[in-house]
Each structure stands twice: as structure tokens, then as C-alpha cells.
């Protein structure tokens, strides 16, 4: 399978289990890898034969800037599910959601959850 990468999407959301996360919000970083066949698109130069990156961004944005959830795991599952439901040519998707500044005592750069889901 070929891979299409949509990397470095940044959003501000109100997700988390701590009240301050829901009240103040925080930054999230999202990377998506779409496993699909890009040959026909490459040979025909036709956007309709591949995954529209702008649509992937907008679907991801709707989840990340939408209704708050507690877990980063929930965000990754929602993004994977919507991509698989909206793009029939995508056979598998890898989604990585990074919480850049979670309110946890200690010194670290970020926390992240990455999942891979396949079309059934």
C-alpha cells in the first residue's frame, strides 16, 4: 500500500480529565497516515482518484475543536473512524494525537497516543 501523510496539524481543544483542561483548553498536534493506492491518481493527475488532504484536515479539525472528551485515546479512535467511513479508498489509517502541555507535574515534552486501524 502507498501512504499519504497529513502531518503537523495543530489544534486548540478542551479535552482532558482535569477541570482546568476543560476550562482553559490546550494545544494538540495530530499526524495522520493514510494507507491507500495512489497509482491511478499519480497517472491521471486527478484529485478524485486520491484522498483530499483538505477534507482530512477539516474532519480532524471538527473532532479536535469539537465536543470535549476525556481521553486522547477517544480522539484518536474518532479520527480513525471518520476517515475510514469517509474515504472508501483508504484501507488503513494511523492516527497520532499529541497533547503538548498536559497539566502533569514533571519535566517532559508531551504525551501521545498512536493507533492503527484497518478497514474490516
Mean pLDDT check: name the lowest of 6-15, 31-40, 76-85, 105-114.
105-114
Structural domain boundaries of the chain?
2-118
Is the CB of residue 1 less than 8 Å from the CB of residue 36? yes
What is the average pLDDT value for the chain, to the nearest integer? 95
Q: Which three cell numbers stand for residue 32?
A: 495522520
- CA–CA dist 46, 90 (Å, integer): 16
Residues marked active site are found at 99
Q: What are the Cα distances from residue 97, in Å, to 41, 42, 56, 120?
A: 28, 29, 14, 23
* pLDDT over 90 at 74, yes or no: yes
For domain 2-118, which architecture applies?
2-Layer Sandwich (3.30)
Amino acid at each position: 500500500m502507498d501512504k499519504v501523510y497529513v502531518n503537523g496539524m495543530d489544534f486548540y481543544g478542551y479535552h482532558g480529565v482535569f477541570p482546568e483542561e476543560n476550562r482553559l483548553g490546550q494545544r494538540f498536534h495530530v499526524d495522520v497516515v493514510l494507507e491507500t493506492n495512489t497509482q491511478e491518481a499519480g497517472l491521471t493527475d486527478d484529485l478524485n482518484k486520491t484522498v483530499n488532504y483538505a477534507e482530512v484536515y477539516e474532519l480532524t479539525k471538527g473532532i479536535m475543536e469539537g465536543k470535549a472528551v476525556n481521553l486522547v485515546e477517544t480522539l484518536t479512535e474518532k479520527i480513525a473512524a471518520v476517515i475510514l467511513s469517509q474515504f472508501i479508498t483508504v484501507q488503513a489509517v494511523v492516527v497520532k494525537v499529541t497533547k503538548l502541555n498536559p497539566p502533569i507535574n514533571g519535566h517532559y515534552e508531551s504525551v501521545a497516543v498512536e493507533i492503527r486501524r484497518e478497514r474490516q
